[in-house]
Amino acid sequence: MILETRAAPPFFKNGYLVGCERTREAIVIDPGDEAGDLVAAVRAHDLRVKYILLTHAHVDHITGVGAVKEAFHIPVYLHRDDLPLYERAVQQAQMFGFEVDRPPPVDAFYDMQPMRFGDHEVRVHHTPGHCPGGVCLQIANHLFVGDTLFAGSIGRTDLPGGNYEVLMRSITGVLFPLGDDCIVHSGHGPDTSIGRERKTNPFVLEYFAVKGTKTGSHEGHKGH
């Protein structure tokens, strides 16, 4: 499997290119301000991009959708529950003090059935909590989790649509059962693994300690 990661200021959000070595088909996940670098990587590997797949619709994860769609003329997929966020991309950016172009319309919503590119299958898992329409995109033992889980942290839940209890249920009830050996590719920061986060993530350990009781305000990984 071909896997390329790119990030760019101001958010240094990870965008991903995943390709099939045999067929040269590929997908782009969460193109943001690094979209130009992802397009260059596609061309360097001589790949044919089939889909743009979004883990969620916070503005830093969608600013490059237009550029990638224009380059390859491919459909954009999103979970239906995040459409209101996607349609308010301009307003989201204004909250952070900058301007963005309105992204192109979403072409299709995930029906939660497996999607294929080349020899690979993408399984879509709904993981709300950071936002209503967050998903994990699973390709074999690789999990592209957006801003649900980070190395040593969790997604913030103080933005509109965020919910700490829902987020922790997504992490512990959806992601963790996928297996300790799964590699976690987060929306920000380095890769990690399910096993490492189960054993060492302080937010997870606290959640397990209180077994779902009220724990007060949790914002997780600041700024994402």
Per the listing, tokens 């790119």 go with 6
| CATH number for the domain harbouring residue 130 | 3.60.15.10
Within a domain: 223: no
Mean pLDDT, to the nearest integer, of 155-164?
Answer: 92
Predicted TM-score of the model (pTM):
0.92
Task: Calculate ∠ Cα 146-160-111, nearest 5°.
Answer: 50
Within a domain: 84: yes
Within a domain: 162: yes
At residue 159, the pLDDT reads 85
Tell me how far apart the alpha carbons of residues 150 and 193 are, in angstroms, rounded to a whole number: 9
Within a domain: 164: yes
Within a domain: 165: yes
Give phi and psi for 195, each to the nearest 5.
-60, -45
- Expressed in angstroms, the distance from the first to the final Cα of the chain is 28
Mean pLDDT, to the nearest integer, of 12-35?
Answer: 97
Spatial strand order in the sheet of 120-126: 115-117, 120-126, 135-139, 142-146, 183-186, 192-193
Within a domain: 48: yes
Mean pLDDT, to the nearest integer, of 200-209?
Answer: 94
At residue 44, the pLDDT reads 98
How many domains does the chain divide into?
1
DSSP 129: S
Within a domain: 220: no
Q: Which has the minimum average pLDDT: 87-96, 109-118, 143-152, 209-218?
A: 209-218
Domain enclosing residue 56, as ranges: 2-210
Percentage of the chain exceeding pLDDT 90: 85
